[in-house]
């Protein structure tokens, strides 16, 4: 039985209202979110029908990132993960029909499912937030200034987080947390170690395949080029959509 306050409100409801108030107070000058979007049709489990999402920009027109690099990244790493995710979903569907399928083998399939789904989602966010002029603005620009003191301070922390992965593998992701109402720069190791309830807003691939062809081991130069090509309109739209969710 949930505990109730004096006015009959459950403790959970009260905490929810408090959390909502804290999140709203964090961004007092930001415009209200757009109207709710219509419900998206649900996909059957293990359908194995994922399709690569086309690039939304001309890869020959990015500043400091070659067309060869972007196309190789999209065709080999991203598309490869899409194909593997479909394959894993097919194997999971077959395993579901086999009552004698070993749990340890099923656990391996579930780990690979998590790994590949994370790769697909993060790659799609990464490519979608490229193709811009790198200039912050909109509600997300206001929010970053409020939370970090300035967009320059936020960028310095984002860069530090990204460079902590240089020479290794992983992602640097600006997230909005639907449970806490916070903006955070986080790293996601192995495509799947982001914070619970963290919604990706700005996604940076720090695996070497995303920059080695152009920059070798000079990850900091790649980071400069990435930030110069961020399409902040996309990041801003994600932020406005994410703020409609709370847990």
DSSP-assigned states of every residue in 134-197: ----HHHHHHHHHHHSSHHHHHHHHHHHHHTTTTS--EEEEEEETTT--EEEEEEGGG--PPTT
What span, in angstroms and rounded, lies between the C-alpha atoms of 242 and 177?
8
Mean pLDDT score across all residues of the chain: 87
- The pTM (predicted TM-score) of the whole model is 0.84
Domains of the chain and any CATH numbers:
65-247 (3.55.40.20)
Is-contact 130 230, C-beta < 8 A?
Answer: yes
Task: Report the percentage of the chain scoring pLDDT > 70.
Answer: 85
- Mean pLDDT, to the nearest integer, of 40-48? 86
Q: How far is residue 81's CA from residue 188's CA, in Å, rounded to a whole number?
A: 16
Apex CA 236: angle with CA 39 and CA 122, to 5°?
70
pLDDT at residue number 146: 97
> What does the alpha-carbon distance between residue 191 and residue 85 come to, in Å, rounded to a whole number?
13
pLDDT at position 36: 55
Which of these, 54, 124, 118, lies nearest to 88 by C-alpha position? Answer: 118
64 touches 224 (CB < 8 A): yes
């Amino acid at each position: 039985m949930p505990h109730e306050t004096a006015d009959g409100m459950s403790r959970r409801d009260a905490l929810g209202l408090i959390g909502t108030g804290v999140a709203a107070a964090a961004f007092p000058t930001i415009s209200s979110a757009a109207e709710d979007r219509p419900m998206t049709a649900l996909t059957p489990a293990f359908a194995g029908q994922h399709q690569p999402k086309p690039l939304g920009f001309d890869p020959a027109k990015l500043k400091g990132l070659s067309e060869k690099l972007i196309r190789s990244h999209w065709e080999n790493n991203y598309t490869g993960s899409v194909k593997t995710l479909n394959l894993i979903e097919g194997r999971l569907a077959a395993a579901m029909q086999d009552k004698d399928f070993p749990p340890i083998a099923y656990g391996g399939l579930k780990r690979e499912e998590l790994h590949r789904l994370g790769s697909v989602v993060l790659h799609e966010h990464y490519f979608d937030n490229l193709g811009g002029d790198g200039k912050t603005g909109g509600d997300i620009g206001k929010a970053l200034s409020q939370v970090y003191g300035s967009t320059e301070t936020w960028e310095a922390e984002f860069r530090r987080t990204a460079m902590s992965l240089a020479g290794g593998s992983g992602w640097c992701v600006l997230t909005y947390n639907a449970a806490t109402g916070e903006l955070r720069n986080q790293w996601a190791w192995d495509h799947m170690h982001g914070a619970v309830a963290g919604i990706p807003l700005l996604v940076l691939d720090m695996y070497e395949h995303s920059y080695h062809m152009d920059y070798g081991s000079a990850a900091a130069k790649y980071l400069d080029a990435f930030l110069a090509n961020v399409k902040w309109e996309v990041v801003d739209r994600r932020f406005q959509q994410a703020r409609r969710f709370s847990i």
